[in-house]
Structure 1
């Protein structure tokens, strides 16, 4: 694959590829939040509920992308996207329960970093979007992701404020 040099023009991405890329990203993000919801459930149910709610927001964004693809009569996104629900073997392999404050802080730091990356991804998608309907969706997604980052920052601040147990 040729290297991209600074100032080089990116090739335009067809609308169906842009939709597919956004769909795949949201699907992976949804799986990430669902896994975190399960991880936090035993010891921090309030954080688990936050992660579940963020996963539901991803699911709603996926639905909006699929509705747009249908409206534009583009190929079916589900046919080309990875499975929405990981297999049980994948869940067990990647799943880890949060058992102490240190793990909670580390998991929340990682979740916040992933959330910032997701917002940046959506901003880049919007910047190079050639489809007005998708651009409008991406603008909404960016606002949702900014709010998610804020909520995760609050959860992280609360986790660090927890006094150490004797």
Structure 2
């Protein structure tokens, strides 16, 4: 498993708990896609731009989650824009990988495929326990986006 692999979480059937789990997942995904975009930048600008676009999709999903939280009046004043990081600023890029040859590109794309499959599993399991229509609508859209991302990454890896 990669450094970005998801820890499987228990499911909180309450909308507040589920919103928070999905939000934290998207922040991890945002950091993952930004790291991938940076990693591919030296040798594969095309893949770097695609990963950057996936990061922008994460930002949009986070905005949608924030709007839903406001409509549902959850997290009254306690909404976190981003979870606090547990690493010092100088440790931020310690695990950053930069690819400079075809073999490294294949390895990083394989890792991206595996992490995207984990995200698909995460959203499928969240959808299975979802108890609100608004959240279900978002989760279905997020799942569709991750399926599209999976197809794109598979094409890049082929």
Shift of 1:132: 1.4
Query: What's 1:126 paired with?
Result: 127
1:74-153 residue pairs with structure 2 within 5 A?
74-75=74-75, 76-78=78-80, 81-83=82-84, 88-153=89-154
Q: Distance in 2 between matches of 1:138 and 1:61?
A: 10
CA contact (8 A) 2:38 2:98 kept: yes
Provide the secondary structure at the position in 1 that maps to 2:74: coil
Larger radius of gyration: 1
Unaligned runs of 5+ in 1: 1-9, 158-166
Q: Distance in 1 between matches of 2:150 and 2:128?
A: 20
Provide the secondary structure at the position in 2 that maps to 1:77: coil
CA contact (8 A) 2:11 2:129 kept: no
**Runs of 4+ in structure 1 over 6 Å off:** none
The count of residues paired between Structure 1 and Structure 2 equals 146
CA contact (8 A) 2:11 2:18 kept: no
2:29 paired with 1:40: no
CA separation of 1:12 and 1:62: change in aligned 2, threshold 3 A: closer
RMSD: 1.9
Structure 2 length normalisation: TM-score? 0.86
- The higher-RCO structure (CA 8 Å, 6+ apart) is 2
Q: Distance in 2 between matches of 1:40 and 1:114?
A: 16
1:90-109 CA-partner distances (Å, limit 9, x unpaired):
43211121011111100000
CA contact (8 A) 1:35 1:91 kept: no
